[in-house]
Chain A
């Protein structure tokens, strides 16, 4: 039996950890374990997909249970190795982290199911599903950790796994895309690491709750530099203008389900980190930076909208929709008030669902017509009316029109921007939405309504179930937004008042 060390209660947590608290680490640790297992058995090709899907289903259940507990009990903490925080790494899950973890787990599950029917043998052989599960582990770890250096580590975990996902298949275009994605993202995470090193030098702690306590007490430190470095590093990961170039260069190259997962979730990791770090740790500096963030948000939106309008390739067009969405979420950050942040959070949840669905839709169109170019497509409405209906709902969702899911977060953001007196940011949201509707309308018109120029090569490759489910979720988010709004508002309150977060980590001793 275990012999506990005789160290005193001044260094270790002496209260026992109930088994239920393991929910806090389950979303990150469970897929990590199974990812390792899948690497070992990577030659058993028929095991890969079922094991990955089962795991991600369990991870989704665990995340949902975690969300339910956080909703009713507030922020949950588990500190690694029983060391008292800030010395042990504290996994700290607040509502924002739990919401994003649920969204990530469910979308990873959807993409795994979608990939299980299509990913070719050689990609499975090189560990496609192991990489997918490990990427999900890294992203969940980022969403649930409460330690800034640990967050960097999880960034590396999902980045390295995502390199793997991008490159399996090894076509020339994929290698080219992965190279750009890899180099630019590594520069971004290096900046993240440098900023974290500086922060540790100034504050002497890496625990985020501890940093929130101590930063306001520090005078005469280059905190503006730090906040700007974090903005640049996370902006790069989120693909915000002007450091977005890697996204359109790489997201159209890999397996379709991979694009769906990356477009849906990975850029939101950058947005999440911006919200977590800038709003909670650098609120004073964020006020100073607000004009910069507003310009970045506005330009990102316009760039995304114009880029989408200019593209003939469907996947690239969706890629620019991803960038547009990042701009909208950053507008929430630029507004900085509770309703603005809530709008940004809700938009992020909407965007995860709608963008993943859009990539899957493009995949279905590609397989049916053998092309993803607007010049060649046409006549799909007659061919597959149901697909047309799904596409129509997604067009409404992404464009921010009722009854799609994009409407309400944009309404919240526009209201918040007007209240905050940011007229031109409001205009940017609205104009970019209009341009995006034009781009999406053009896609719908040409792909579905234009008479087919060539003989339709209708290939049946099964009903796109995952796409259907995601579309239904998008409609539900549009027609019944109350729970999502309530969750986003509570999450943004938690961001603006970190007292609950700090108390959860340090308890009474804080």
Chain B
């Protein structure tokens, strides 16, 4: 897809979708949304960038390897459940703290969701980029 219109729009679209994916991720705390759907939106943002500028450019733009992103997410999600080790509660127990400075509650639930977001974004964009790059070869 090398049309001028698409190549002009793609960066803005990608940026907007990434922003929207974070919005969906945070919104999922109390309303429909969450890490999974947010991750999918982020992955489609990378996929659009890949269609417009090719896979190598997308990989450079992502900076980290998608699989590494997914691994980091898995680690974050798993670690977030371990807070119970220190408070005498079981695995994956929600821990909440009020923080007057930021203005909203911080909890390990949102950290778990961020982990899910990274797993989905990393894994799906890895698949998407792999599929797009074979298309380039033909």
Per-residue interface assignment for chain B, residues 63 to 92, with 1 indicating a CB less than 8 Å from any chain A CB and 0 otherwise: 000011011101100110111110111111
B75 & A33 in contact (Cβ 8 Å cutoff): yes
Distance (Å) between the CB of A1 and the closest chain B CB? 8
Known contacts A13-B90, A40-B72, then 15 further A-B pairs from the complex at CB < 8 Å, ordered by chain A residue:
A1-B97, A2-B83, A2-B95, A3-B96, A5-B96, A16-B88, A16-B89, A29-B78, A29-B82, A35-B74, A38-B71, A39-B68, A80-B90, A81-B90, A81-B93
Report the Cα distance A83→B74, complex, angstroms: 23
Known: A5-B96, A40-B68, A42-B67. A25 touches B79 (CB 8 A): no
User: What residues of chain A lie closer than 8 Å to B75, measured between beta carbons?
Assistant: 33, 36-37, 40
Report the Cα distance A40→B85, complex, angstroms: 24
Distance (Å) between the CB of A181 and the closest chain B CB? 20
Report the Cα distance A80→B89, complex, angstroms: 9
User: What residues of chain B lie closer than 8 Å to A40, measured between beta carbons?
Assistant: 68, 71-72, 75
User: What residues of chain B lie closer than 8 Å to A80, measured between beta carbons?
Assistant: 90-93
Q: Which single member of B67, B71, B90, B95 contacts A37 (CB below 8 Å)? A: B71
User: What residues of chain B lie closer than 8 Å to A13, measured between beta carbons?
Assistant: 90
Known: A32-B78, A36-B75. A17 touches B88 (CB 8 A): yes
Residue with the greatest number of chain A CB neighbours at <10 A, chosen from B78, B84, B90: B90
A19 & B79 in contact (Cβ 8 Å cutoff): no
Q: Which residues of B contact A (CB under 8 A)?
A: 67-68, 70-72, 74-75, 78-79, 81-85, 87-98
Selected A-B contacts with CB under 8 Å, 5 pairs: A2-B87, A17-B90, A21-B90, A36-B78, A39-B67
User: What residues of chain A lie closer than 8 Å to B83, measured between beta carbons?
Assistant: 2
Report the Cα distance A1→B74, complex, angstroms: 25
User: What residues of chain B lie closer than 8 Å to A82, measured between beta carbons?
Assistant: 89-90, 93
Report the Cα distance A204→B6, complex, angstroms: 50
Per-residue interface assignment for chain A, residues 410 to 448, with 1 indicating a CB less than 8 Å from any chain B CB and 0 otherwise: 000000000000000000000000000000000000000
The size class of the interface chain A forms with chain B is 20 to 34
> Which 10 A-B pairs give the minimum distances between C-beta atoms?
A39-B71, A16-B88, A36-B74, A36-B75, A40-B71, A2-B95, A80-B92, A82-B93, A81-B92, A33-B78
Within 8 A of B (CB), among A174-213: none
Report the Cα distance A82→B95, complex, angstroms: 11
Check: A504 CB closer than 8 A to any chain B CB: no
User: What residues of chain B lie closer than 8 Å to A35, measured between beta carbons?
Assistant: 74
Report the Cα distance A38→B87, complex, angstroms: 28
Closest residue to B77 on the A side, CB-wise? Answer: A36
Known: A39-B68, A79-B90. A22 touches B85 (CB 8 A): yes
Residue with the greatest number of chain A CB neighbours at <10 A, chosen from B84, B87, B88, B96: B84
User: What residues of chain A lie closer than 8 Å to B94, measured between beta carbons?
Assistant: 5, 81
Closest residue to B72 on the A side, CB-wise? Answer: A40
Within 8 A of B (CB), among A1-53: 1-3, 5, 13, 16-19, 21-22, 25, 29, 32-33, 35-40, 42
Check: A78 CB closer than 8 A to any chain B CB: yes
A39 & B95 in contact (Cβ 8 Å cutoff): no
Within 8 A of B (CB), among A292-315: none
